[in-house]
């Protein structure tokens, strides 16, 4: 399922795709213009859903991995009705997108229940 988003660091329109993965949930970040894929990260679905439902304050990190198996992290922060997602390697600046909380929750629920 695709969700429209915006990069908070550059202002560029992004698409965040949510799909089921054998090991949890796959999140793909793409540039809207040119449909350029920026990053793929696989995460435990329960960890992501817990943050979205509990809405703890501040920035949180979920350990994940790339499709190739390299360690990646997803920094996530819920601010009212918006969620900031940043996929990154340990010491490298990451790919970011701000998306709607309801849109992300709905996409995650539809992928988990499918």
pLDDT value of residue 70 = 87
Contact 85, 100 (CB under 8 A): no
Torsion of CA 111, 42, 38, 33, to 10 degrees: 0
Average pLDDT, the chain: 92
Domain of 31: which CATH number? 2.30.31
What average pLDDT does range 76-102 have in this prediction?
91
What average pLDDT does range 38-51 have in this prediction?
93
What average pLDDT does range 57-81 have in this prediction?
91
Tally of domains in the chain: 1
Q: CB 50: neighbour CB atoms within 10 A?
A: 14
Q: Quick check: 90 pLDDT over 90?
A: no
Confidence of residue 27 (pLDDT cuts 50, 70, 90): very high
pLDDT value of residue 91 = 65
pLDDT > 90: percent of the chain: 79
Regarding predicted confidence, which is higher, 101 or 90? 101
The residues with which 71 forms a beta bridge, in sequence order, are: 65
Contact 65, 71 (CB under 8 A): yes
Helices (H), the chain: 45-54, 101-113
- The whole domain housing 72 covers 2-113
């Amino acid at each position: 399922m695709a969700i429209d988003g915006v990069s908070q660091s550059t202002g560029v329109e992004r698409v965040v795709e949510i799909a089921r993965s054998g090991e949890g949930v796959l999140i793909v970040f793409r540039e809207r213009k040119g449909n350029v894929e920026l990053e793929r990260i696989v995460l435990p679905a329960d960890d992501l859903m817990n943050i979205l439902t509990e809405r703890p304050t501040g920035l949180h990190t979920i350990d994940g991995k790339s499709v190739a198996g390299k360690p990646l992290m997803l920094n996530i922060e819920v601010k009212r009705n918006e969620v900031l997602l940043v996929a990154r390697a340990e010491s490298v600046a990451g790919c970011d997108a701000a998306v709607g909380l309801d849109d992300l929750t709905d996409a995650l629920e539809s992928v988990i229940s499918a």
